[in-house]
Structure 1
């Protein structure tokens, strides 16, 4: 949270004592970085998924212009959309155009970008962010926010967080090779 310490240095006249650094670290340890930034009135730049990240998600989600059951009873359309921007769930028999599918995905991505930006309180590089958005896109924001991966990441355990990708390989209680493949690519991207 370099931005926070830069701000604190600025308001304290350029330098921080060890006592001030320790106090700031304690506050940061007990709250998320974005909460601290908000308390201090600092605008924190949020990361957006890159074209590489979008391509990764599209490769695994595939493009389907007619609604399909994702294998565990969730109706899906386009590039993995399960709920339209108007809040209505995708249902059997729905169809869309390619342009609509792209619009649905753009809408969905914002939700998952916000989830990653909100849950993770350490700086991420673009590859890490893209991998996390892909994971969240697939497992949902609730599961992502509560995951051990996020806990390990926020504790600074990057390697431990990376190994948590391997946990998310089941759907409907069954190991799925497609998820094994997806997690391996997400993990490799995260570590690059």
Structure 2
């Protein structure tokens, strides 16, 4: 945490003195905790100021235009609590939808782009070792690896997606399935501008439609991905067989 550097400084720092990476980290943290900071662009605008002022008010701290060791420590504690309390949980809805669309393979296979995969889409074992050609596992191990993978994805999403702790389990599961398919670092990344914007702005009613954009139109996998995106959208709304 770049902001942790401020805990080594005894005096508080004016928000204007923060570096762009520190501001981005602060904005991401605030949005994760439900404070609308206006995106993580590293620019100190009125929304970021207002979000930080509200956070400091909520923790009964003064000086809304400053950030010091105490407020940084409290911010990190609240992020840890959010991740432990819900961010790192494994919703059963996520397990169900991922199982359905990933399928089960007990022998290692090439996923088509040179990545060796096993079980329900596992590419690395819990010990960090990559899946290798010739590997085989039991169904019980596949279940264990799936739980581990989903928990890791949920923790990553909890730390990056704004308002995560305000979402319900169906919403979490929909985004976990999306991330399981396209990577847990999608938020704010190139090519994911639409869904990132809707999540950033808390435009939740638009998320199901945004999901449909990521189905590789014109490719051989389009129909399968489109079906998955539709199922994720339904789950987000609390509908369909996985809700």
> Which range, TM-score by smaller chain?
0.7 to 0.9
Give the deviation of 1:24 after TM superposition. Answer: 7.2
Q: Deviations 1:28-65 (Å, cap 9, x if unpaired)?
A: 89xxxxx9894284433324232122111101111110
| Structure 1 segments unaligned to the other structure (5+ residues) | 6-21, 30-34
CA pair 63-110 structure 1, distance change in 2 beyond 3 A: same
Aligned 1:1-192 pairs, distance under 5 A: 25-27=50-52, 38-39=74-75, 41-42=77-78, 43-44=81-82, 45-47=85-87, 48-122=89-163, 123-144=166-187, 146=189, 147-148=192-193, 149-170=195-216, 175-192=221-238
> C-alpha separation between the residues in 2 aligned to 1:85 and 1:54?
17
Aligned CA-pair RMSD: 3.1
Give the deviation of 1:150 after TM superposition. Answer: 3.1
> C-alpha separation between the residues in 2 aligned to 1:139 and 1:93?
25
Give the deviation of 1:115 after TM superposition. Answer: 1.7
Q: For 1:76, what is the secondary structure of its paired residue? A: strand
| Structure 2 segments unaligned to the other structure (5+ residues) | 1-30, 36-46, 55-70, 239-243
Return the TM-score normalized by structure 1: 0.75
Kept after mapping to 1: 8 A contact 2:106/2:139: yes
Kept after mapping to 2: 8 A contact 1:136/1:144: no
Which protein is richer in helix relative to its size?
Answer: 1
Give the deviation of 1:131 after TM superposition. Answer: 0.3
Tell me which stretches of 4 or more aligned residues in structure 1 moved more than 4 Å.
Answer: 35-38
> C-alpha separation between the residues in 1 aligned to 2:229 and 2:182?
11
Count of residue pairs the alignment pairs up:
170
Return the TM-score normalized by structure 2: 0.60
> C-alpha separation between the residues in 1 aligned to 2:150 and 2:140?
15
